Amino acid sequence: MEECPWWVRACNNMRARGAKEVEVAYPATSVCTLFRHIDPHQIPFKFGGLSILPTDISVGHNSSMLALKPGEDKSIEITCEQACTVHFLFRSSGVPLSYQISLIPGTFEWIKEDQTTFVPTGDDGALIRFERRWAYCGGLTTEVVKVKRPIKVVCSIRNSIDQESSFFLFKYHVVF
């Protein structure tokens, strides 16, 4: 009998009902399979996730993954109604991605009892932008943005490579 991995024999011997409940993560798609079922900040860094230390695995952080097709742009918006610090943690899985963080000053106006809306000021001189780029399969990139007044933080991500899709893993934490 020919030698094959144990999981191949297990999958071939499963009944149809059992096979529907099991998803095999092949080496080429294992990271995608993990991210469909597990939050990126709960996966250790060595397996392609965002967690460096056991303390990084917490429910309080907002973490997510964006899939970027070739030439695609996406953005993340965070509104800060008061003075705070926003901590970002980024990672690219795949091709190099570029990102730009913009701070848009403005005010918040009440719409209803528990809802507000952000109204940007017309002062373009107060708009702050800084741009970074990290290498293919680089480590974690961190950014800290300190906010002293009502502001909207917009992080724009761009996949400028025309041939490959990539995943942008991120998490942010707002400290007041």
Q: How confident is the chain (176 residues) per 10-residue block, as mean pLDDT?
A: 73 73 74 80 75 53 78 88 85 78 82 76 63 60 84 86 79 84
Question: Which secondary-structure segment (H or E) carries 19?
Answer: helix 16-21
Q: Are residues 61 and 117 in the same domain?
A: yes
Domain assignment of residue 101, given as a range? 53-175
Q: Are residues 19 and 57 in the same domain?
A: no
Does some domain include residue 42?
A: no
Are 174 and 86 a contacting pair, CB within 8 Å?
A: yes
Q: To 10 degrees, the CA torsion angle through 35, 160, 96, 30?
A: 30
The pLDDT of residue 136 is: 47
Does some domain include residue 121?
A: yes
Q: Are residues 61 and 32 in the same domain?
A: no
Domain count, the chain: 2
The pTM is what?
0.66
Does some domain include residue 48?
A: no
Are 130 and 100 a contacting pair, CB within 8 Å?
A: yes
The pLDDT of residue 57 is: 42
Q: Are residues 110 and 139 in the same domain?
A: yes
Of the candidates 94, 151, 112, 108, the one whose C-alpha atom is nearest the C-alpha of residue 128 is 151
Strand-pair partners of 20 = none
The pLDDT of residue 135 is: 43
Q: Are residues 27 and 63 in the same domain?
A: no
Does some domain include residue 47?
A: no
Q: Are residues 29 and 72 in the same domain?
A: no
Q: Are residues 32 and 75 in the same domain?
A: no
The pLDDT of residue 58 is: 45
The pLDDT of residue 44 is: 77
Q: Are residues 106 and 142 in the same domain?
A: yes
Helices (H) and strands (E) in the chain, counts: 3, 9
The pLDDT of residue 137 is: 56
